[in-house]
Chains A and B, each alone.
Chain A
Amino acid sequence: AGNASPRERRGRLRGFNWRFCYVERRIGCFQTVFVSWVFVSGKPIFSVDIHPDGTKFATGGQGEDSGKVVIWNMAPVLREEDERNENIPKLLCQMDNHLACVNCVRWSNNGLYLASGGDDKLVMVWKRAAFIGPSAVFGSSSKLANVEQWRCVMILRNHTGDVMDVAWSPHDVWLASCSVDNTIVIWNARKFPEIVMTLKGHTGLVKGLTWDPVGKYIASQADDRSLKVWRTMDWQLETNITKPFSECGGTTHVLRLSWSPDGQYLVSAHAMNNSGPTAQIIERDGWKTNMDFVGHRKAVTVVKFNPKIFKKKQKNGSTPKPSCPYCCCAVGSKDRSLSVWLTSLKRPLVVIHDLFDKSIMDITWTLNGLGLLVCSMDGTVAFLDFSQDELGDPLNEEEKNAIHQNIYGKSLAITMESQLSSTIIENPEMLKYQQERQVNQNPNEAQGIGPESQTPKLTNVLNGESLEDIRKNLLKKQVETRTADGRRRITPLCIWLNVSYFYPGTSHQHCSTASQSCRGRLHRLSSPLRSLRIPVHATAAVNSIGMKSNLLSVKEPKGKDETSSDSEDKIMVKSMAKRKGEMEGAEVVEKRKKGRPRKDAKMMPISQPFPQVTFLLSKDAWTSKSMDGVSTDGVTYLEVENEVSVVSGSRLSQLKWSREGREWDALLPSRIIIAAGSNDVVAVACEDRTLSVFTACGRRLIPSIILPAPMSALHCSRHFVMALTASATLSVWDVQKQTALVKNESLNPILSGTDATVSQSFLTQQGVAVVSLSNGKTYCFNSSLETWNLIADKQDSLVQCTDFRNCVSAQDALGSMGPLALTQGRNLSAGRLASRLSSTPHHLQQGMTLAFLEKQLSSALVLLSASEYRHWLLIYARFLVNEGYELRLRELCQDLLGPVHKSSSSSWEPTVLGLRKRDLLTEVLPVIGQNLRFQRLFTEYQDQLELLRLK
């Protein structure tokens, strides 16, 4: 494209190189449009980034006395008539929350977040406000109202120096930031502000970051004359490249390097070759540094690859051989010029000199790869528009995936949307579904308002009152108190509460009911309480604490301990025990602090004698039986007092039960060692190896059960009672039906061959006994098969290598609570697994994930946990859809659908765990519909379901 110029300089002919030529804003095959209105009062613009949806872009730089992040509308840049149209806003939002210059702005790949880093050492994460904010900034004298409301949802503090660059990893798993404090911080983007790792090793200011598109590496370039590549698997240094940088001085403000979209090349910013500034090309294969982009007169500040891979435009018969796909790269320099390269050409496609008055600071490509925004220190942004004739035909996502699949054995993006466009929709149902889906995704796109603007409905109504009503009475209603020194203190009315606001889908329900007592209220909104028992085996340490304190009731401080069964906050514990033991004869009233580590409940099976347990107290948060209701029940106390009185030589013990003023007590002839209760029953085990069971009203249900050995752990859940004895046997009874679900089953099968001990046990609401061992394995007893089933293993390699993150949607988090999650730990999915991304070959990982998901599904089934079964079923279905397992998908659908025509020979059950299978299928079908590849499957089952519905 570029013509030879009067001034010409040749770089070294190694691979890539180019002649430096003047192409003075040549209009013809490409066009340069100056974006004149992106002009922030002459202050430098350090960074520019186009939103993934292409409708807007962000700039970052210096403001008046602060850093400034601005979000601009893209339409006026692209079309001249939009630029002239005064009704189309150019500026969408300005944010000057950064205290000092903003060096970098980057959109997350999903477009939901914007990250910015600045000289104030902070990284801020911005999100479109989920409500309609003020139309203009309060007190603003300018007429520039913010059209969109972006709020800072997270401030990431860790760096001790200016933050120079930030970068989101593929799939937005991590956010990396680098700083002049010589470090790179990897933040867990799913759990801000958690830090995954701080990469240390640079000895100079780190000025640029880029993620490998495959997700295996991250590269950084620093003033210490090195470029380092780090592995994401273990965050260790993969390679340290210094040779091309040995002559470099720290003269550039930024060193923005870039990785090619096919992952094959990494191109550095400022490098030197024979005293000439270059951009070094580093090959992924062996990190070879044989090629460079030569020609700029001053240091290269920024390199940015076009997100697209191109192939040669096929002209009729003019190309004899099929051309190789190639990439396109833009290079910006301190010399104020910009060059654009294709990896298939030895010369630059185009060079533009004197584009700006000052150094180029950042470059960003439009998603279609044909446009490019460049910003400069001089405060301007330029837009360059290329034609397809110039760059070639961009590969579509499918072809791009095929290339990745070829090179890495794994397709990167399973972006359905982009694939959809090229597939023909074969049936009207599917078309309708797809259209509905699009409408749902972007209800307000036409007005340029994002999907989140639907929420104001919610937030403008608090407890059924509209904001207007509240405002009318605010003065009367607001809580005003006097402080100790007599000052007025107003409790503000909370109209929108930032609760876990970073993760969509969780906070809004809270907000809508938040009020002046927002904090207190949140507790009540949290998931319903279920029965909980906390056996506390007295230890010397506890006693000494207990004796100092005279309090009889303590607030349960945590209870969120993830291993505790169904625990909840706000549990009152009251315990009083008279204890014999070493202190024979001395009566001690002691009080027990709750929230002891669960390990205390450890059972020492067989080999060890049963510990001389004193007593326990168990307490219980009794709740309404329905899972969905918010518990309104009070706290229940179970109190045990041993040796309450001595009657004719034998000592009596007393069990006291109280809830909301109602209470009963029962006397037992032997010392009580463990008690537990649920909504329906209370069970008490005594020293004389008897187990007594009472109803919640205190009526004895069964004559004392004689146990084969002393009790080690006792649990109640609904009308089920579970007993673990010191001789390592398990029994579970249904005391309502008076049947045994598990009959004195030995734990030997799971304990033999290990020196593990039981670390935790609990009973699910459905009466399934679960036992966790100290070696990280968790088993449940399957009473229909009469076997022990392994349901969780913390060391399981399958768990650690699975990757189903993109199959989990935000609202799924809610459905995942239950006994299975309890045994496996709640945050099983994201971070830990994410770090394994690409560490194993794709097909292997795929297989592992499949195996893992199927295991989860069957475990939920064995645990009779309906909500978890549904949760994992949906994830499983999404995974099958994403990875294209048609046969399994079909089998799954078939099982859910069942026989269309009734036949006596069929053993098909219409429900699973109380869920109607066809309802489940109705939920699974939309998932299948997301991939047009399965549209026939979708249609087939959709039709059959419809048919059955009509019947």
Chain B
Amino acid sequence: MAKVQVLNVAVLDNPSPFRNPFQFEITFECMEDLPEDLEWKIIYVGSAESEEYDQVLDSVLVGPVPAGRHMFVFQADAPNTGLIPESDAVGVTVVLITCTYRGQEFIRIGYYVNNEYTDPELRENPPVKPDYTQLQRNILASNPRVTRFHINWEATMDKMEDSENVDPAPNAMLPPTSMPGKAPPLGLMPDNSMDCL
């Protein structure tokens, strides 16, 4: 069973100007002392069209992790705007938080992010070249999408037969019903998201 359960992720500084760093306050619980660190990553999906625009904003090691409940704030710089296709700068995209243990991803939390101009004028007539200084980033904090994967928590390197151990198909689409416009992939199937502990 999973030794680490994510209990909550609070999105701090939201909404915020596009260039502000991302801040997530993550609370998790660990069943047993972990001999190794957890690795957390924030991935910004630059474009729904292709994975190649995904940017790993930052990755941190978190440890030591004794059995118990812990929290930390994961802060990462805003994405490099140069790597975002201009056509995808404004609108809905996704930010992912992943956690791996011994190189195996066991949880993936996805948030929809809406980038839009606050100025009604700009909203009406967006410049061809996006003006990132005017963009506001709004993370849909109330609706995280969580996918959990079974991984091998023990040091023994015996392979798990589970195919679930593999990273989820990146092109699995999840159109949010509540969200207008294009829907970028969250990297998970709705059925796959656990609705319980």
Contact = CB atoms under 8 A, between A and B. Distances in A.
A490 B60 contact: yes
A489 interface: yes
Interface string B148-165: 001000000000000010
Given A97-B1, A490-B74, A496 B69 contact: yes
Interface string A18-41: 000000000000000000000000
Given A94-B197, A140-B195, A142-B195, A492 B7 contact: no
B194 A139 contact: yes
Contacts of B65: 492
B69 A139 contact: no
A498 B194 contact: no
B1 A475 contact: no
B25 interface: yes
A474 B67 contact: no
A478 B1 contact: no
Interface stretch (A130-138, A177-185, A625-633): A130-138
A495 B70 contact: yes
B67 A497 contact: yes
A489 B63 contact: yes
A490 B62 contact: yes
Interface in B1-60: 1-2, 6-10, 12, 23, 25, 27-32, 37, 58-60
Contacts of A474: 25, 71-73
B87 to A, nearest CB: 30
A98 B63 CA distance: 25
A494 B66 contact: yes
B196 interface: yes
B145 interface: yes
A51 to B, nearest CB: 19
Contacts of A480: 60
Interface string A413-434: 0000000000000000000000
Interface centre among B58, B72, B145 (most CB of A within 10 A): B72
Interface in A63-102: 64-65, 94-99
Contact of B190 (A141, A155, A518): A141
B71 A138 contact: no
Given A97-B1, A471-B25, A518 B7 contact: no
A97 B67 contact: no
B62 A139 contact: no
A134 B6 CA distance: 11
B193 interface: yes
B89 interface: no
A580 B62 CA distance: 53
B110 to A, nearest CB: 9
A489 B66 contact: no
Contact of A488 (B29, B58, B164): B58
B75 interface: yes
Contacts of A493: 70-72
A843 interface: no
B68 A496 contact: yes
Contacts of B194: 64, 96, 137, 139-140
Most buried by A among B2, B150, B195: B195
Contact of A492 (B2, B9, B67, B71): B71
A193 to B, nearest CB: 11
A94 B197 CA distance: 7
A133 B29 CA distance: 11
Contacts of B60: 480, 487-490
A139 B1 contact: no
Interface string A158-181: 000000000000000000000000
A903 B2 CA distance: 70
B94 interface: no
A487 B164 contact: no
Interface in B54-107: 58-75
A139 B146 contact: yes
Contacts of B1: 97-99, 120, 122, 124, 152, 155
Contacts of A499: 68
Nearest to B150: A99
Contacts of B139: none
Contact of B66 (A144, A475, A498): A498
A144 B69 contact: no
A155 B61 contact: no
B72 A492 contact: yes
B104 to A, nearest CB: 15
B145 to A, nearest CB: 7
B113 interface: no
A498 B58 contact: no
Given A152-B1, A478-B73, A490-B60, A139 B66 contact: no
B144 interface: yes
B109 interface: yes
B16 to A, nearest CB: 14
Contacts of A133: 7
A518 B66 contact: yes
A519 interface: yes
Contact of B196 (A142, A155, A487, A490): A142
B195 A478 contact: no
Given A139-B109, A474-B25, A489-B63, A497 B190 contact: no
A146 interface: yes
B40 to A, nearest CB: 8
A155 B29 CA distance: 15
Contact of B70 (A120, A140, A142, A494): A494
Given A155-B1, A490-B60, A97 B69 contact: no
Contact of A97 (B30, B64, B145, B197): B197
The winner among B27, B59, B68 for most chain A CB atoms within 10 A is B68
Given A475-B23, A489-B61, A489-B62, A137 B71 contact: no
Contact of A141 (B25, B58, B195): B195
Contacts of A138: 6-9, 144, 146
A471 B196 CA distance: 26
B146 A152 contact: no
A549 to B, nearest CB: 28
A492 B1 CA distance: 22
B191 to A, nearest CB: 8
Nearest to B30: A498
Contacts of A155: 1, 31-32
A94 B196 contact: yes
A163 B87 CA distance: 56
A67 to B, nearest CB: 9
Interface string A460-491: 00000000000100110010100100011111
Given A99-B1, A498-B30, 10 more contacts: A94-B197, A97-B197, A124-B1, A137-B197, A141-B195, A146-B196, A475-B12, A488-B61, A492-B63, A492-B71
18 contacts: A96-B196, A134-B8, A137-B195, A138-B9, A142-B196, A471-B25, A474-B25, A474-B73, A480-B60, A487-B60, A491-B72, A492-B70, A493-B72, A495-B69, A496-B69, A497-B68, A497-B69, A498-B66
Interface of B: 1-2, 6-10, 12, 23, 25, 27-32, 37, 58-75, 109, 144-146, 150, 164, 190, 193-197
Shortest beta-carbon contacts, A-B, top 4: A139-B146, A492-B70, A498-B67, A496-B69
